A and B are shown apart, each in its own frame.
Chain A
Amino acid sequence: MNERSNPMRPLLGTLAGVKDLADDVKLFQIELNGQSFDYRPGQFAFVSAFGVGEAPFGLASTSGRTSQLEFAVNRIGTVTAALHSLEPGAIVGVRGPLGNSFPLDEMRGKNIVVLGGGIGGAPLRPVIHTILDRRTEYGKLTILWAARKPSLLVFTDEYDAWRSAPDTELHLTVDEGSPPWTGNVGLITQLLEQVAPSPENAAAIICGPPIMIKFVLLGLKKLGFADEQMIMTLEAKMKCGIGKCGRCNMGEIFVCLHGPVFSYTQVSRFLESFV
């Protein structure tokens, strides 16, 4: 068995940096030292904490902006707890890139609405970056960004750059907020009703907890968005990421292989619900 022919063998990378993003959420920056890793927004990879295991994470970086791979990791299980205990300089494994990606080329010329909930904002960051870096190729960019509470909002240090980009709006909301928070308090669905982006020549991109996605889809439909205008990335338990282990099936669909990015046209035809 040679190294190139085994999709279960990870690349070795060095943890170059670790940044606090939110409560229990850290951004891991991994240096692959020149090993090839061509990825697109929406793709994911498995990150190994050797000795504990590996888990899949959406790529939170944009290949045109940095040579490092970035992953936002919420400390919530055994692998994520092990990753949180690592210091810069540690060796980690990276297996990927895996899955499909957001159809950003097909979306050129359109107004884009990005809806992110909590850690679900991580795979949407490269979407925002790509649109900002190719600003003239897209219409209006409306970002609706939510979290359960202010201390769970991710990528806060980038909000000013997002807001100040041409033809770009950022709307934040939290489910529960108390001073010093002075912004919106309420669910992202309420924010969506207030902002009411037009479906005309638009596409919506959604990532967040399944229940959030479910209600955001209803909200977008109410605003007149058609099934094919709503694109989402789904999360599922995975052990291999290459369509073998069976964990992520929704009916005959494998999230890792056929997704993780799906249009609502596809999702509405799933025999088995993603929620």
Chain B
Amino acid sequence: MKAITREALTTWLDGLTGRYTLIAPRLVEGELLYRSVTASAEIVLEFRRTVLSPKTFFLPDTQVVLEVEKRGTETTLAEPEVVKEQVIIGVRPCDARGLRALDALLLDRPPADAYYAERREKTTLIGLACPRLWEDCFCTSLGGAPDDASDVDLMFYEGRTGYWLSVVTEKGAALVEGLRTEETEQALPASDISGERVPVLAPDGWSALFDDAYWQRLADRCLSCHACTYVCPTCRCFDVRDDTTAAGPGYAHIQRLRAWDSCMAAAYRRIAGGHNPRPSKAQRLRNRYYCKFCYSPIDFGAVACVGCGRCIAVCPVAIDITEMLADIQYPISST
């Protein structure tokens, strides 16, 4: 096992900032968010959970997908500049696991999403294990673990005076070349995985509950505020729209943008002309849960929820995905 002191880590991270876009948890007006940093001093590595997952560095909240220039009768298209190699440090195992759901849809099911593919290719993930499950966390109920290194390139485990370090991939090995580490005999302290497990209904159990009255009851207090979808590391729906950034006589510059969207929005499925096949909040909330626990397993072979607990923490009306999972063990229609 390799170990690294906090001082050596600091020196190494400062060195990375010159070669890569270094992204790390950083305090922004009191909120802990993944942001690019220029010095290691800005980085916060002692934390429980960031407000948002790092998914925005793969599927940005807003990104330019096309630049259009109209000049006289000429129209030219250009795609955005390629992104620089990026390193994200302080990635929690659940968030890294969440990228599996994004990969399944955006990379592995043809055609691949060119923008996502480029960012995924150019990113090295440095994980940071959780010593235990935090409040609202339930990763262990969904096949994850607070110290699961399966989805990162390098994994750091916090110790009293520094970090243990595990190299997972070749990409990770390349990144730690030149890093001053010490070999240690000391065993890595295992993360504490105690805590109540949430029952997760198998994918084929969901179809019988589709018309259950429970969804209406749960949705009665939903505000359709979209927060659960934005904070979710596996939600990946997007909108595409045009924005004219400059215009003059015979000239226009247009950016085609794509931005995070939310299936909680009333107009999400409404087509021009007004027809809406999913007009009620209950239908939309049900769709979000079914997308994760029923449709994703059918389409991609795996549940698209990693138990990060963010949707529980962020919901203004205390809708709790773990309560839902427990409740549907005893559906209304069958009681």
Question: 8 Å CB contacts to A: which residues of B232-247?
Answer: 236-242, 244
List the A side residues contacting B291 at CB < 8 Å: 246, 249
Additional A-B contact list (14), CB under 8 Å, known A50-B242, A51-B244, A247-B261: A50-B252, A52-B242, A54-B242, A80-B272, A236-B277, A239-B258, A243-B109, A244-B105, A246-B261, A247-B269, A257-B109, A271-B210, A272-B277, A274-B277
Question: A87-116, CB under 8 A of B: which get 1 and which 0?
Answer: 001010100000000000000000000000
Q: List 30 A-B contacts (CB under 8 A).
A: A1-B79, A1-B114, A1-B115, A1-B118, A7-B114, A8-B115, A51-B68, A51-B254, A76-B272, A77-B272, A89-B73, A91-B70, A236-B277, A237-B271, A239-B238, A239-B240, A239-B258, A239-B261, A240-B240, A245-B261, A246-B236, A250-B277, A251-B295, A252-B295, A252-B299, A257-B109, A271-B207, A272-B278, A272-B287, A273-B277
Q: Is B221 an interface position by the 8 A CB rule? A: no
Per the bound structure, the CA–CA distance linking A224 and B210 in Å amounts to: 30
List the B side residues contacting A237 at CB < 8 Å: 268-271
Asked whether, in the complex, the Cβ of A251 is within 8 Å of the Cβ of B290, the reply is yes
Question: A1-13, CB under 8 A of B: which get 1 and which 0?
Answer: 1000111111010
Per the bound structure, the CA–CA distance linking A107 and B313 in Å amounts to: 55
Interface size of A in residues (CB-CB distance below 8 Å): 47
* B112 → A minimal CB distance (Å): 8
Asked whether, in the complex, the Cβ of B254 is within 8 Å of the Cβ of A50, the reply is yes
Asked whether, in the complex, the Cβ of B261 is within 8 Å of the Cβ of A242, the reply is no
Count of A-B contacts with CB under 8 A? 126
B106 interface neighbour in A239, A244, A247, A249, Cβ under 8 Å = A244
List the A side residues contacting B113 at CB < 8 Å: 7-8, 242, 244
List the A side residues contacting B210 at CB < 8 Å: 271-272
Please give me the 8 A-B residue pairs with the lowest Cβ-Cβ distance, nearest first.
A77-B272, A246-B237, A252-B295, A91-B75, A6-B114, A252-B298, A76-B272, A7-B111
Closest residue on chain B to residue A235 by CB atoms: B271
A50 interface neighbour in B75, B275, B278, B295, Cβ under 8 Å = B75
Q: Which residues of A contact B (CB under 8 A)?
A: 1, 5-10, 12, 48, 50-55, 74, 76-77, 79-80, 89, 91, 93, 209-210, 235-237, 239-240, 242-252, 257, 271-275
Per the bound structure, the CA–CA distance linking A54 and B68 in Å amounts to: 13
Question: 8 Å CB contacts to A: which residues of B261-297?
Answer: 261, 263, 268-273, 275, 277-278, 287, 290-291, 294-295
